[in-house]
Amino acid sequence: MTMISRRTLFKGAGAATLATLASPALAEDKVKVGFIFLGPIGDYGWTWAHNKGREAVEAELGDKVETIYVENVAEDASAIPVLRDLAQQGCKLIFTTSFGYMDQTLEVAAEFPDVKFEHCTGYKRSDNVATYNSRFHEGRAVLGTIAGKMTKSGVVGYLGSFKIPEVVLGVNSFALSAQKQNPAVVVKVLMIDSWFDPPKEAAATETLINLGCDLVTTHTDSPAPLQVLEQKGLFGFGQGADMSAFAPNAHLTAIEDIWGPYYIERTKAILEGTWTSTDTWDGMIDGEVVISPYSAAVTADAAAAADSVKAGYMDGSFNIFTGPIYDQDGVERVKAGEVMGLGDLATMDWFVKGVESAA
Amino acid sequence: MGIDFIIAAIITVVGLTTPILLAGLGELVVEKSGVLNLGVEGMMLVGAISGFAVTVYTFNPWFGVLGAAAGGALASLLFAVLVLQLNSNQVATGLALTIFGTGISSLMGLSFTGRIVMPFASVFPDALAKHEYLRLIFGYSPIVYFALIMVPLTTWFLKSTRAGLILRAVGENDLSAHSIGYSVIKVRYAAIAFGGAMAGIGGCYFSMVITPMWAEKMTAGRGWIALALVVFAGWRTGRLLTGAYFFGILMALELYAKASGFSFLPSQFWAAMPYAMTVVALSFISSRGTAGANAPACLGKPFLPST
Amino acid sequence: MRIKLEKRHEPSLAMLVATPIASVILTMLIGIVVFDLLGINGFEAVVDIFLSPLLYSYKWQDVALKAAPLIIIALGLSMGNRAQVWNIGAEGQYVIGALCCAGMGIAFGQTGGFLVVLLMIAAGIVGGGLWAAVPAWLRTKYNVNEILSSLMLTYVSFQVLGYLVGGPWKDPNGRNFPATAPLADAQTLPVWPESTVHLGVLVALILPFVFWVIMARSEFGYQVRVVGSSATAARHGGFDSKRTIWATMIIGGAMAGLAGGLEFAGVLHKIDLGFASGYGFTAIIVAFLGRLNPFGCLIAGIVLAVTYVGGQMAQTSVHIPNSTAGIFQAMMLFFILASDILVRYRIRLIPSAKAAGV
């Protein structure tokens, strides 16, 4: 580096002082890894899972790394100073763990070309911004299989947040899988325009139940729906983490987001100097999407069918998005034998046949 | 679509309505005494965590409800001291209380995340509480009945008791109530504490009944709806009850419409309805002048006796 | 023993200045004790929250960006409060201002430049002003309490935002996420070289002087103060209190709309569901912390911004939970509101034989 502007100098000086202030005994060769979280780490959902990933990094790499995190960071302009702060405190790698940090991540990344950023669930990259995501829909295929086997009414509910690709994929994967077990299954989708609103999630679950659903899966963040199902003696699934503690009887299984392996791999890349900007979309085969143990309520044939889907994803022989796939109006969107590519999946905005939704 | 469907829908509406009814009743009494406490959301959150925490420790939801009432009332007393003793601005103090309540509840809740309690469900025998039809009457948490009983009780208190009369007099004209010899400050303290306790109980309905767990900001803005409700009801207890159910039905309608595949109106329209209708109702009430309105004349104004 | 309050003829200037400072210091002291009790290094936490953002120059721009909207909104609100007009719907006016600004930008497509940006900001001002005109109209025409109506309209505005960014204004390339398309570069506010400090920060620095001149030197400012002191005095002085309500409400809304437009065109460049982040409510606190004085608002806005930025710094350095920053802000406000009485009243302790009737 030959050109050091006054500002960067200042920045460095400030960061050094701050670092000493924060942890006086910090050894210089430790690599600092930063995380910003959308919710509190105790939300038992999305943020909780990411924090588990952070802890896995510490456990695996021990004193080679130091991790720091900031929780409850709003998805607005206030994320920018937080990110800058992490960079100034000397973080070499920063994970931004929610979609809403996308543009903020790119903006701060442009100011700190030497710091690497990893943005979760986004689609914009640059030289020092990578993106990563999980193929949650593979997990949804397992849940859908169980649901298809276990529903008696043939109507299952899907409580969602917004009609974004991640949720659309989840709905479609769930519906297609359920229909494989029982072609007549109808999936009722209810979007509540929020990721976290326990009373609304609870009321929405009651609504779906009253409209005939005997099983409800959720794509919002709180365990509220499961607790309603528990009180009604019905079944559902955990989202993001094993939520069986909240609903021991209703909880059939859960999709667990396991971020640890990816976080460890990327931190190692920093340590070894091999980090490059990539777009990673890992799934079950990589251990990033894990199905919790089935509860006793899962019937033997449901468990067997679910296991075969799981095995299919583990050895790469199965993909639920294999044609023929029809949309809600019955139009064939994917021809028989064709498999939807990741690019198509990442922008999917239509529901498959058998899904009932408002607009 | 049979009777069963309607009963289930009604039960959902009751669940949506009860917290705002409780908090609204409390705030109505507060406002009737001439004080505007905008801290309802904060007090509800404090009530939610207090009720949950007490239930976790005592395994007794009845104590939990008492704890929630105490928590809400304690939080409200902070507001009361500032507003009554030190004549601070009610609007700003109420907002500060909401910020404070949000912060303190999440701090208190740190050690309670991830834990659950038994839901505080109906205490009637299952033959009644889970009966196909009778559950419409017997299938609720005791808090629901408490809320419903509090409506006529509050009406009776405000209209027919001496204390209620004094409370209204204080809200209508604090200076003359003071000159007759009533303690404006004491009356308002009592009203504010009652409001806090009711908001606290409303809050614990979330953490102990709907979803028996604690999560930060779990009331998700219901305190503001409760504030709207009081105004929408024109400061009348009877209308507060119908208003609360009206708001509850609106919230349920949105969900039912969407889950049934209807989308003739955007969901934001439904969500905005309670607030927009409150503004309209408020205009009607206010345009009829103070004579016809039930709005306390001293609402939000500091009590400044000249001596 | 009884406490007796004596109204001062003039608010005490010494108290006016001393009490906010004392409030901040008291909050810091209590914070140290409370944090130590919670097992956190209290001194470090408080230093981080209140001082670090000021000590490190590279944090100044973060403070400036956070302070600018708070100052601008608080200026408008404090003028209203001076006239006893209680607009607490600034958050909604901020949202509508930003939406109007965005709408103007969308109307121009990719065309940008000085004039377009100016029109966008103007749209923000007008939008915020119009949204505030509703409670003003209801108050003057139907005697509707503006505290309640402006608050309700804030919640309506959130739904307007939700509808627009999730519907007609949704970014067609945004993969269905409820957000507007990012603003074209030519439509963004000029930014100080090598920083993120945008033109709005300069506006926030200039406006206090403008408001001071209006309040202290102009006929209108005098009118606001007279109407605020008493309705009777205003009538005697021949002032129309309705006109004052209209004017102060709209100015308050226009300032909030301006802040929303600046935040959109200067910082965020897009609107999503998280856009309303509480500036409008926090600005009410700023106005009180600043004692409704334009320069007071300037300083108070900076103080609040420091606690925000510092609160986030403290999360990474001493690992305090995020919620504590809010507790600090509330505590500071409680103190300032509590001490307000010292400005307006003299406190006398009177030994008494059981106060009668009280």
* 3-class DSSP state of B33: coil
Cβ contacts of A222 on chain B, cutoff 8 Å: 211, 215, 218
Task: Say yes or no to pLDDT of B244 above 90.
Answer: yes
Using a CB-CB cut-off of 8 Å, the residues of chain B touching A157 are 259
> Does the residue C358 lie in any domain?
no
| Distance, CA of C53 to CA of B222 (rounded, Å) | 35
CB contact under 8 A, B282 and C148: yes
CATH code for position C333: 1.10.3470
- pLDDT of C351: 67
Q: What is the pLDDT of residue C109?
A: 87
Do the Cβ atoms of C138 and B279 come within 8 Å?
A: yes
Query: Does ipTM top 0.90?
Result: no
Q: Which amino acid is at A186?
A: V
Total number of domains in chain C: 1
Q: Are C340 and B87 in contact (CB < 8 Å)?
A: yes
Q: Which of A103-112, B65-74, C307-316, C339-348 has the lowest mean pLDDT?
A: C339-348
How many other C-beta atoms are found inside a 10 Å radius of the C-beta of residue A29? 8
Full set of structural domains in chain A with CATH:
30-134 (3.40.50.2300), 136-257+288-356 (3.40.50.2300)
CA pair distance C238, C241, nearest whole angstrom: 9
Q: How far is B115 from chain A (nearest CA, A)?
A: 8
Q: Which chains touch C (3 or more CB pairs under 8 A)?
A: A, B
Residue C267 confidence class, pLDDT cut points 50, 70, 90: confident
Nearest CA in chain C to B226: C152
* Residue A24 confidence (pLDDT): 40
Task: Look up residue B301 and give its two tokens.
Answer: 């104004």
Nearest Cβ partner of B283 from C142, C167, C337? C142
Q: Is residue C339 part of a domain?
A: yes
Q: What is the pLDDT of residue A155?
A: 95
Domain that holds residue B51: 3-292
DSSP three-state, residue A251 = strand
The answer to whether residue C335 sits within a structural domain is: yes
B131 falls within a domain:
yes
Query: How far is A355 from B176, CA to CA, in rounded Å?
Result: 66
CA distances from residue A26 to A23, A51, A350, B136 in whole angstroms, order as listed: 6, 22, 51, 63
**How far apart (Å, rounded) are the C-alpha atoms in residues A149 and A166?**
24
Q: Which amino acid is at C138?
A: L
Task: Residue window 107-166, chain A: list those with CB within 8 Å of chain B.
Answer: 157
**Of residues A39, A88, A35, A37, the one with CA closest to residue A65:** A35
Collect all residues of chain B within an 8 Å Cβ-Cβ radius of residue C325: 103
Nearest CA in chain C to A21: C317
Separation between Cα atoms, residue A72 and residue A70, nearest integer Å: 7
pLDDT 10s digits, C341-356: 777 777 777 665 544 4
**Residue B305, in any domain of the structure:** no
Q: Which residue numbers of C have CB closer than 8 Å to A's CBs? A: 44, 48, 52, 56-59, 62, 65-66, 162, 166, 175-178, 182, 194-196, 263, 267-270, 272, 274-275, 277, 308-309, 312-313, 315-318, 321-323
Q: Do C65 and A77 touch (CB under 8 A)?
A: yes
Number of Cβ within a 10 Å radius of residue B42:
33
Secondary structure class of A351 (helix, strand, coil):
coil
Find how far residue B242's CA is from the centre of its chain.
14
Residue A26: the pLDDT is 44
- Cα(B304)–Cα(C73) distance, rounded to whole angstroms? 29
Write the burial class of residue A226 (CB in 10 Å: 0-12 exposed, 13-18 middle, 19+ buried): buried
Torsion angle of the four alpha carbons A5, A7, A13, A18, in this order, in degrees rounded to the nearest 10:
-150
CA distance B19 to B209: 10
Domain harbouring B135, CATH code: 1.10.3470
C238 by Cβ neighbours in 10 Å (0-12 / 13-18 / 19+) ranks as exposed
Provide, rounded to the nearest whole percent, the portion of chain B with pLDDT above 90.
55
Contacts of B300 in chain C (CB under 8 A): 86, 145, 147
Q: Give the structural domain span for C279.
A: 2-350
H-helix or E-strand spanning residue C52: helix C52-55
Length of chain B: 307
Q: Is the pLDDT of residue C249 over 80?
A: yes
- Whether A76 sits inside 8 A of C275 (CB atoms) is yes
The yes-or-no verdict on residue B254 having pLDDT over 70 is: yes
Determine the average pLDDT of the residues in B74-82.
Answer: 96
Of A191, A227, A357, the CB nearest to B211: A227
* Inside any domain, residue B106: yes
Q: Do C288 and B38 touch (CB under 8 A)?
A: no
Q: Provide DSSP, C45-82.
A: HHHHHHTHHHH-GGGHHHHHHHHHHHHHHHHHHHHHHH
* C155 contact B CB<8A: yes
Predicted confidence at residue A63, as pLDDT, reads 87
- pLDDT at position A240, please? 81
- The closest alpha carbon to C339, from A313, B86, A81, belongs to B86
Interface contact flag, C159 B268, Cβ < 8 Å: yes
Share of residues in chain C with pLDDT > 90 (%): 38
Q: Is the pLDDT of residue B116 over 50?
A: yes
Q: Is B259 in contact with A198 (Cβ distance < 8 A)?
A: no
Q: Which of B255, B263, B268 to mutate to test the interface with A (most CBs of A within 10 A)?
A: B255
What's the pLDDT at A165? 87
Average pLDDT, chain B: 90
User: What is the rounded average pLDDT for all residues in chain C?
Assistant: 86
Confirm whether B302 is domain-assigned.
no
Q: Which strands, in side-by-side order, build the sheet including A91-96?
A: A65-70, A31-36, A91-96, A116-120, A129-134, A279-282
CA gap B259, B238 in Å, rounded: 32
Instruction: Please state the domain count of chain B.
Output: 1
Residue B45 falls in which region: left (phi positive, over 0), alpha (psi -120 to 50) or beta: alpha
Per-residue pLDDT of chain A (359 residues; tens, 9 = 90+): 333 333 333 333 334 344 444 444 444 578 999 999 987 777 677 888 899 999 999 999 988 999 999 888 878 777 888 898 899 888 999 999 998 899 899 989 998 999 999 999 888 999 999 999 999 999 999 999 999 999 999 999 999 988 888 899 999 999 999 999 999 999 999 998 888 888 899 999 999 999 999 999 999 888 889 999 998 899 999 888 888 888 899 999 999 989 999 999 999 999 999 999 999 999 998 889 999 999 999 999 999 999 999 999 999 899 999 989 999 999 999 999 899 988 888 888 899 999 998 76
CB B94 within 8 A of CB B38: yes
By CA distance, what is A348's nearest residue in C?
C175
